[in-house]
Amino acid sequence: MSDRELLEGAEKAYLNAYAPYSHFRVGAALLCESGEVYTDCNVENSSYGVSCCAERTALYKAVSEGERKFTAIAIACDGDEYPYPCGICRQALSEFGTDLRVIVGSGGEMKTFTLEELLPSGFSLMSGEQ
Ligand code: THU
């Protein structure tokens, strides 16, 4: 699966976003070592703090299906800016390793980072096996 294909999955996913408050639709596509791809979107709530970002809904979907090893995540939105993952999502993803490649797309362009670059010296209680 190419980065471009993964990003296309994220672009499709944001079409299902439930974002009646921010009107900011985000989609994420998470590629697992197994080869499976889990896509998801942001889901907002009247009680704003209950809302969940696209990256975490995709991550939790994958983890709840038994996935633990992730290769890359692509993120897309319907805005003009690159949709960098928020701090909470960076921390959530880092639980499963910081080698993860993070692809952000906007207007047909892509930028790629490692999670380590986006969350240097992140917090972890995990010292060994995951
Ligand atoms: N959002 C994401 O889905 N991912 C991020 O990394 C940042 C923000 C969503 C949450 C909320 O539904 C909307 O974007 C505006 O903050």
Q: State residue 126's pLDDT score.
A: 84
pLDDT band, residue 128 (cuts 50/70/90): low
55 Cα–ligand 1 center, Å: 9
Q: What is the pTM of this model?
A: 0.96
Question: What does residue 30 show for φ and ψ, rounded to 5 degrees?
Answer: -110, 120
User: Domain 3-118, what fold?
Assistant: Cytidine Deaminase; domain 2 (3.40.140)
Closest ligand 1 atom, residue 17 Cα: 12
51 Cα–ligand 1 center, Å: 8
Atom 4 of ligand 1, nearest CA residue: 53
Question: Taking Cα atoms as reference points, which of 31, 14, 35 lies closest to residue 23?
Answer: 14
Taking only the tens place, the pLDDT of each residue in 73-124 is 999 999 999 999 999 999 999 999 999 999 999 999 999 999 999 999 999 9
